[in-house]
Structure 1
Amino acid sequence: MLLRVIISPNNITKLRLQDLPHSVQSLKEILQDQLKLKEGFILQYEDPEFGNQLCNLTDISEIPPEKTTLRVLYEASPDPDEADLSLSSLDTASLPSSSNSPRTSVGPSPGRRSSLWPSPFPVPNFSYDVELRLQKGNDVYKDRGTLLNITRDIKSEVLDKIAQAVFEVTAYPDRSEIDSVAMALVNKHPCLREPGSGNGWNGWRMSIAFKIGNYRQKLRNAGCEEVKVNERRGSHEEGWPGLKKAKRAEVNFLPDHPAGQSEDTLEKDREALTVEMEKRNPDMTFINAAMDRTFSLRRKEIIDQEPHVDLVKHRWPALFMEYQVNCEFQRITMVALQRTFLKALETHTPKLLKMYRTRTAHFGEEMQTLLDSLDKETSDISEHRRTVALRGLPLFVRDYGAERILRTCLNTDPEEAYTKDVRMAVLTVVEDDGGAGASASPHIEDFAIVLEENVVIHNIRNFPNAFALFFGLLYALNFQYPKELKYTCEVIQKVFLSLGDDCSARVQSFKNKLLR
């Protein structure tokens, strides 16, 4: 395995590895050891599927075989020569701005996160005196089994640092995530165990949850958008919509603006972006970089104002490009949408089809028709198998009414016929061939996505890609999962994309069958 590693503009080296490490963390450790790198960096790689543009490396399997180029990005640059590589974007950090950009650089955003919830949770280092007392307390506990006398200053320091560490990953951790933090704390420092608690950390869990709530209030007072958006405007207000927070494993749900930037400066970027999109041959390099720079402004509009799709499309036309749907999803979740989804679909298709055939009688005529179409197919078998596996998923998880979302129309139908009163749909457009026999398979001309009576994307190459883009737009526009595809979308999120672990009973049962 040959790697070209870009550490800084003046420090680019070649590194040959005998075998590819089993994880991204292992690769980081190898680079730290062999290239003498400091901690606190992420890796990006040149993705051949997107014209060798940079994407964050979150899964070791994403690295192309034989050779690739990696770029080291520091969250806080340890060297002045590396200042231009500070973490300011996800997959377009190094893209230059075109000449019509209002600015040429953007500073790092304090609210822009770069990782999913870690397992196990890495307990932060505390102040020197507290670390010293914990170390000695651990030694005494190991020798004598005596627990540390936890003073107020120790507990305050521990809770403060943990609240900050948790917020670096999520502003609103759920019960299981807080449990994992408390468990990791006691595992690392067993002298902090609580003798009156069955597992040794129940009290810490409650203290951490309370401290995180206090920390959110501090950040709200400081103007942090992610928590400020949930500030009640008065207890008398009726119809308060509840918390606006990440509920589907979003890493960057509502980030703050980049350092040194304001809504006014980012609005100028948005205007320049809109002008560029009106050109016959827009500068894609500029569009990609501008979309990344304006991510925080776009999310604030979508989360806080909840605009209609036609307004979003007017203000952010680039958001409905296929490539930018993938980029936006990765900015929000740190997961490469289409690549991860299609790879998971390819992996699970054989087992899915086997499960469908085993229980065909339980799902009626529609499932049998799907499987019959697969048996009759003679061309592009692999793609058709994936399509049947995906189309059969709503039937298998009993998403009643999925046909209202997964629709078919004729290419001769007027647009208003298949968009009127349609909130969301994935359209399969087939050729209107009235002379064909009843047994002939219709020729598919196009796939398209409809949101709030607008065809937002069309000319999609196949059904799996169309469904992936539809799923990505649900995240990009902060739409709830449609009730007709509630469990299907949960399967895509938690089983195919591994975003979140707490499955509903129905999806957990499906997952057990699939992975058995």
Structure 2
Amino acid sequence: MSSTSSQQPMILRVVVTDRARKLKLSSRPVSADALINIIKEQLEIDVDFTLQYEDPDFDGKLISLADIEELPQKAVVHISLSQDSSSLASTEVFSDFSSLERLSRWPSGTFLVPTFAFDVELKLKDGNAEYEKNNKCLKLTRDLKHDILEKLASTMYGFKAYPSGKEIAMAAEALVAKHPCLKEAGSETGYSGWTNSLMFKMGNYRTKMRRAGCQEVTANSGKRSRFHPEKESSHSNIKKPKRAEVNFLPNFPQGQNPSSLEQLRQTIVQEVKKTERNLPLIQKMMETTFPLRRQTIVMSCPPVIELLDLWPALKIESEVYAEFRRIINQNLPNTFYAELDRHLPRLMTIFRQKASKTGETANALAEILKNHDKQPELDGVAVGLLTVINDHDSSPVHYEPVKISVVMESDEVVSLPRFSDAFVVMFGLIYAMHLKYPKPLTNTFEFTQKILLGLEAGKLPPRLQTLKNDLMIHV
């Protein structure tokens, strides 16, 4: 190794499972093993792994890192967790089970109309040709309309069991845009009747899925009826996604039942207690037991501390992110930090402008950066972050705190070294535990959810809409 190359600084993007971290090195490590030790120390990884890097000579294809000299000064390295044969055997037990029923959210742009049955497509093709030639709409038979609505309902259910009225209208609009022969001459929009029909069809389709045993809609059965007038109203306490959850209440994986999943849960508890945890095995078991966990959380709503006793793996940062991905199908830390970086300059400008207009810049900063009591009262705290500092630290901004603890329902549940990571984990746990946003922090969490993460961003409160308008001016 030349002395010149060894003294040059390096910038690495380290990718591990579902997150990525930036790592700056003052000089090139002496070997690949030395780099592994540095990554273990800097990123606090306590398991063995090997490294692969994206080789620019092969269009970014992954290459195993054997010689440190092969690594570019600015590189992307991927961590590949090592597993012994027994761990692999244990992991393979769960390889056939997938607890995720949905893999994508409702489309943010135009709704993609599905391809209908062959005979339906032929009739629509002829109808569209006639409409283009003579501006004449297709005369629908009862069977044809049923087939169209059934296919649309099935496609919509693949995204959401309970789509909103706006989303149903989006699907109806896309239908007549793709097949103009289906436009309604007596409708102002051309698709109002289709919207109403789809609303009723979705209700019928949910009934069909409930009879088939789909847990997501079965959870809302057993309401008030003619034979049970004492039960709650059919429109009250509906358990359905309200914050863009993709997999809200999935069914058990094929071949699994509550008893078998409970045994896996107990195995997870024992694995988490070990000094050297098998993280890939834990993640695989958490994936398999996801439906059991969601059923407990959504249907029973136990206290947070009780949930974490049942599922201690949710105290692991990577598992919080994995759980968020299971629920939302989104990489939480990557999306959060990317959007925060994009909006941060404008956010700082807006804050300075607002503070200067009121003439209370110093007071505003003091309010944001104020010191809290060294022994704060946690009783009654729904969610929050507790900063623990050294006794001699008197700075209003704590760049190197001892730790940042996530507080939920008055209990410290997990601690992290950085404030930003603690906030992201707290947000992920709110989704994982199916918690409501605390009223005083609703705008903060809705800003994170709807503006930074783009989840259910269609309708914003007035304050957030104004802020988003200001942010979008310079994006």
Per the normalisation by structure 2, the TM-score is: 0.77
Counterpart amino acid of 1:479?
L
Residues in 1 aligned to 2:233 and 2:198: alpha-carbon distance in whole angstroms: 30
Deviations 1:241-287, CA, capped at 9 Å, x for gaps: 51111111111111111122212221121111111111111111101
Asked if 1:105 is matched to 2:91, the reply is no
Task: Say which SS state the counterpart of residue 402 (structure 2) adopts.
Answer: strand
Is contact 2:168-2:195 (8 Å) kept? yes
Asked if 1:249 is matched to 2:239, the reply is no
The runs of 5 or more residues in structure 1 that have no matched partner are 1-46, 56-62, 70-91, 374-390, 393-402
**Which among 422, 433, 436 is matched to residue 477 of structure 1?**
433
**Against the structure 1 CA distance between its residues 64 and 258, is the aligned structure 2 distance closer, same or farther, given a 3 Å change threshold?**
farther
Is contact 1:409-1:430 (8 Å) kept? no
**Against the structure 1 CA distance between its residues 465 and 431, is the aligned structure 2 distance closer, same or farther, given a 3 Å change threshold?**
same
Deviations 1:195-228, CA, capped at 9 Å, x for gaps: 0011110100000011001111111122111111
Deviations 1:449-473, CA, capped at 9 Å, x for gaps: 0111221110x23222211111111
How far did 1:108 drift? 4.1
Q: Counterparts in 2 of 1:220-369, with a 5 A limit?
A: 220-234=210-224, 235-238=229-232, 242-361=237-356, 368-369=362-363
Q: Percent identity?
A: 36
Q: Counterparts in 2 of 1:304-453, with a 5 A limit?
A: 304-361=299-356, 368-369=362-363, 371=365, 408-410=372-374, 413=375, 418-433=377-392, 444-453=401-410
Task: Say which SS state the counterpart of residue 159 (structure 2) adopts.
Answer: coil
**Against the structure 1 CA distance between its residues 223 and 342, is the aligned structure 2 distance closer, same or farther, given a 3 Å change threshold?**
same
Residues in 1 aligned to 2:454 and 2:18: alpha-carbon distance in whole angstroms: 24
Counterpart amino acid of 2:181?
C
Deviations 1:9-30, CA, capped at 9 Å, x for gaps: xxxxxxxxxxxxxxxxxxxxxx
| RMSD across aligned positions (CA) | 3.1
**Which among 138, 147, 155 is matched to residue 145 of structure 2?**
155
Asked if 1:51 is matched to 2:45, the reply is no
Counterpart amino acid of 1:455?
E
How far did 1:442 drift? 8.5
Task: Say which SS state the counterpart of residue 196 (structure 1) adopts.
Answer: coil
Residues in 2 aligned to 1:444 and 1:503: alpha-carbon distance in whole angstroms: 35
Task: Say which SS state the counterpart of residue 143 (structure 2) adopts.
Answer: helix
- In the alignment, what sits opposite 1:204? 194
**Rg larger in structure:** 2
Residues in 2 aligned to 1:506 and 1:288: alpha-carbon distance in whole angstroms: 39
Asked if 1:467 is matched to 2:432, the reply is no
- In the alignment, what sits opposite 2:72? none
How far did 1:425 drift? 1.2
How far did 1:363 drift? 6.8
Residues in 1 aligned to 2:152 and 2:125: alpha-carbon distance in whole angstroms: 17
Is contact 2:130-2:136 (8 Å) kept? yes
Residues in 2 aligned to 1:95 and 1:199: alpha-carbon distance in whole angstroms: 62
How far did 1:51 drift? 2.3
**Against the structure 1 CA distance between its residues 442 and 104, is the aligned structure 2 distance closer, same or farther, given a 3 Å change threshold?**
closer
**Which among 488, 497, 506 is matched to residue 453 of structure 2?**
497
How far did 1:509 drift? 1.2
How far did 1:349 drift? 1.0
**Against the structure 1 CA distance between its residues 157 and 353, is the aligned structure 2 distance closer, same or farther, given a 3 Å change threshold?**
same
Task: Say which SS state the counterpart of residue 450 (structure 1) adopts.
Answer: strand
Is contact 2:386-2:407 (8 Å) kept? yes
Is contact 1:147-1:193 (8 Å) kept? yes
Asked if 1:173 is matched to 2:138, the reply is no
Task: Say which SS state the counterpart of residue 386 (structure 2) adopts.
Answer: strand
Once the two structures are overlaid, the 10-residue window that deviates more, 112-121 or 176-185, is 112-121
Residues in 1 aligned to 2:397 and 2:101: alpha-carbon distance in whole angstroms: 52
Q: Paired residues, what number?
A: 400
Counterpart amino acid of 2:104?
S
The runs of 5 or more residues in structure 2 that have no matched partner are 1-11, 21-53, 63-80
